Chains A and B, each alone.
Chain A
């Protein structure tokens, strides 16, 4: 009942508004306002343009400065320094052009509004002016391009030889990652070997895979180059490390990579931001399905000594050691080597019994 009344009320309201509008337009016709070339509204519109310029311009400045802390994400890599300088250089240039052109646009609109008897200036072209404002943007843009080239070449260059190598794989809707272990070489992989435990499809026919380990958290050393080899196994994903100003798509069938040098440990960042809960985060930036928004991973950055300690602990937990059933994927002639490299050898008896149970 209430709903019907409400609907009825709405219909009446609309009818009344329509009627008022109709009467208003007929009155206008009767007064002959349509014969006037330019009504008073012209002036109102001209003034509104100025008001718009002042209000929005003022707001833009106020907010850009006052909210700086909330939109400026803290950063912690060498590349991020480069990024920040080139981003802000570009921003200052574009903001000055923005201010200049918007002021001209709205001030002209106000100043040259229609006045009776005023005649517009017949000014069809001026080659000199046009050449000037073709060349100046061209020069400014060239400078920006070269700044961009420099940074771009630096970050896309091959990673240094001594880089810490980590492999990261995106899948719906999480990440898996492994470290190369003692030998510093990541083992081969094959997507056909993927199963619920061997998330990354590690190929245990390759001896380099024996000491690979998959820790619980991505951990990076401060001040040392880190190379991330990136894969995806189902759809596209994108490795996005906002605090390191890094992003690279992950693709099935075509491995990609990124590298950077972290400059602040997690602890240092917590100190700096006075936020004891701060963590570096890794997000997915390429739409990948229903869980796209939840592909979060925390990244830990440690001092080099702490990192060495962490690494020494973790390398004991090789994938083969924690999942000994995968020994069966190792070719028979390499099995002994696998046991040694994976750290199973310390307990030969156990390894033997596992092998027996497998057979």
Chain B
């Protein structure tokens, strides 16, 4: 049968088979939308929570950008929100400034780009793309979300307490974070931060174990690792990184809790503060930094890997062309994952650790640039001689490659210890990671949302609004983050409330103002997305089952897949996911569940040999299909 009938054959073909999801119709509101064990709903829960946190995290950045761009600004009109953090003369409290920077980092890295990104897409896509009814453990999956929710509640609550939220930077290096005398953010705010992070880590581990076991055990017939979409590969490696790295952060957090509350001296030594010498001796602040970055560096790959996967998928679909170098893409994902565990100390070149260690980590860090470069070249070659359809998802994928290049290249500066001595903790670092990790991961997330929205909600997002959103965001992130390179080369240190004290850093007031205005505009432009997202969820155009003419399995489900995903049997997989524009094929795509037996016109020689094996493996299904 020809591929034209694919959808009918593969989604409706078995509708007379007894439907698996009968009980789905009798779900109460609570079991369907709140304490749900359906991976699709849990994915959406993560997505909506992620959007909520992105607004909070982005809003905080606007507040502190105002302080940086307009040093003499009168904040009095914001007193309804910020209360006593605004002085009687209308200036922002310098410690609250640090608190906002800290919370912006924590929220964006963990709550938006970890939970919001991999939480959403790992949950939503893994079972659909590997052909599984649900996650290995739906209950653990539910727990994972509710632990995240609890962590969110605690973190959100900490924003409003009188002594303020944690303020020692998202890295929360002790002794600053360990000593309540050092700053008011290290009082209750830091305790809540640590509690929230501990719960968050539990959520990550529950989710990660589930993703890994689902991918290893629940792949449908024929879905070998070498036929798995790159999204699933990326999400698998993300989960493995999280599983290995997060427990180390937990140990750091626990030891910090001990130091704070039980008088131990893991990270504290020789401290004289607030007029008294503390009894702590023998601890090492460096130890915390090692533990933190042992998670912290894999964490940036936890953030970026899912975007790699999403972009590979969206780009191949909309370029109507196989992703270039599928195996090299997997290889570079593997390479990045392994190397991400041996580069952490490049955050610590000037921390006082042994300089020899610095040399080793400089070497390893620059090696990790190689697989990243391979990925970029492969994306470029995927576009080469394609037939590009600029859906909003595709625009964000191209934008992803652009910002990933821009931010990635400055990593070569920072990974070089000799250069990092000057640039460490300056705005150059801010520019680097906001482009390569922040913006790139955000673009990947947006590409994913626009691409899979029709599957999630059965409706299309408005394309025109999507285009407006993309262009405003794309131009916006460059206007916001690119100028920071210059400010960084000029040596401006990060986490400075004001630069007026220093002659060396007194320039660039105009550029700082420019960045602030650009940040406000870019942030406001996200309203277009928010509107489009919620409007289209209820009133958008109805989607077809496979609106992008894509190959992966999730598009073989009904428009709105129910509990169990496929009404009949789960489709069998016969081919890799990137048979786009195959020479000789009648359409420019051949979904993964189409056997080679049905596409003699486009089969390559070695694929014709597969036909016999297809029959042996699963004669019933192949016979069934040939009847049509």
Contacts and interface: CB of A to CB of B under 8 A. Distances in A.
B partners with A: yes
Contact of A120 (B98, B321, B402): B321
B399 to A, nearest CB: 10
B179 interface: yes
Contacts of B286: 251, 254
A296 interface: yes
B260 to A, nearest CB: 14
Contacts of A123: 321-322, 324, 381, 384-385
Contacts of A235: 175-176, 179, 182, 273
Contact of B499 (A86, A115, A134, A293): A293
A4 to B, nearest CB: 17
A6 interface: no
Among B328, B493, B499, max chain A CB count under 10 A is at B493
A142 B486 CA distance: 26
A121 B535 CA distance: 38
B418 A141 contact: no
A191 B362 contact: no
A349 B507 CA distance: 55
A189 B98 CA distance: 32
Contacts of A124: 322-326, 578
A130 interface: yes
A114 B398 contact: no
B370 A247 contact: no
A106 B474 CA distance: 13
Contact of B497 (A101, A104, A283, A293): A293
A185 interface: no
A46 B319 CA distance: 13
B457 to A, nearest CB: 16
Contacts of B580: 120, 122
B509 to A, nearest CB: 11
B28 interface: no
B100 to A, nearest CB: 13
A355 interface: no
A72 B486 CA distance: 9
A86 B169 CA distance: 30
Main secondary structure of the interface of A (DSSP, over half): helix
Contacts, number: 340
B370 A152 contact: no
Interface in B377-413: 377-381, 383-390, 395, 398, 401-402, 405-406, 409-410, 412-413
Nearest to A38: B389
Nearest to B416: A148
B273 A172 contact: yes
A235 B178 CA distance: 9
Given A45-B395, A144-B416, A293-B496, A133 B373 contact: yes
A86 B422 CA distance: 12
Interface string B491-512: 1010111110111110110000
B339 interface: no
Interface stretch (A90-98, A300-308, A335-343): A90-98
A242 B504 contact: yes
A247 B422 contact: yes
B389 A42 contact: yes
Contacts of B21: none
A289 B405 CA distance: 34
Nearest to B385: A121
Contacts of A277: 503
B269 A254 contact: yes
Contacts of A151: 418
Nearest to B464: A41
A236 interface: yes
Given A48-B471, A254-B269, A294-B501, A138 B370 contact: yes
Nearest to A233: B272
Nearest to A95: B409
Contacts of A115: 387
A14 B4 CA distance: 44
A153 B352 contact: no
A238 interface: yes
Interface of A: 21-22, 25, 29, 34, 37-39, 41-42, 44-46, 48-49, 52, 56, 60, 63-64, 67, 70-73, 82-83, 86-87, 90-91, 93-95, 97-98, 101-102, 104-106, 108-109, 112-115, 118-126, 129-130, 133-134, 137-138, 141-142, 144-145, 147-153, 155-156, 171-172, 191-192, 194, 201, 233-236, 238, 240, 242-243, 245-249, 251-254, 256, 277-279, 281, 283-294, 296
30 contacts: A34-B541, A60-B482, A73-B504, A87-B422, A94-B409, A97-B405, A105-B379, A113-B390, A115-B387, A121-B384, A122-B580, A130-B374, A141-B370, A145-B363, A147-B416, A149-B359, A149-B362, A155-B421, A235-B179, A235-B182, A247-B424, A249-B351, A252-B285, A254-B269, A256-B352, A283-B505, A287-B495, A288-B176, A289-B176, A289-B182
Given A64-B486, A242-B491, 14 more contacts: A21-B462, A22-B539, A98-B405, A108-B383, A121-B385, A122-B322, A133-B373, A153-B359, A172-B182, A252-B175, A253-B283, A287-B98, A287-B173, A292-B495
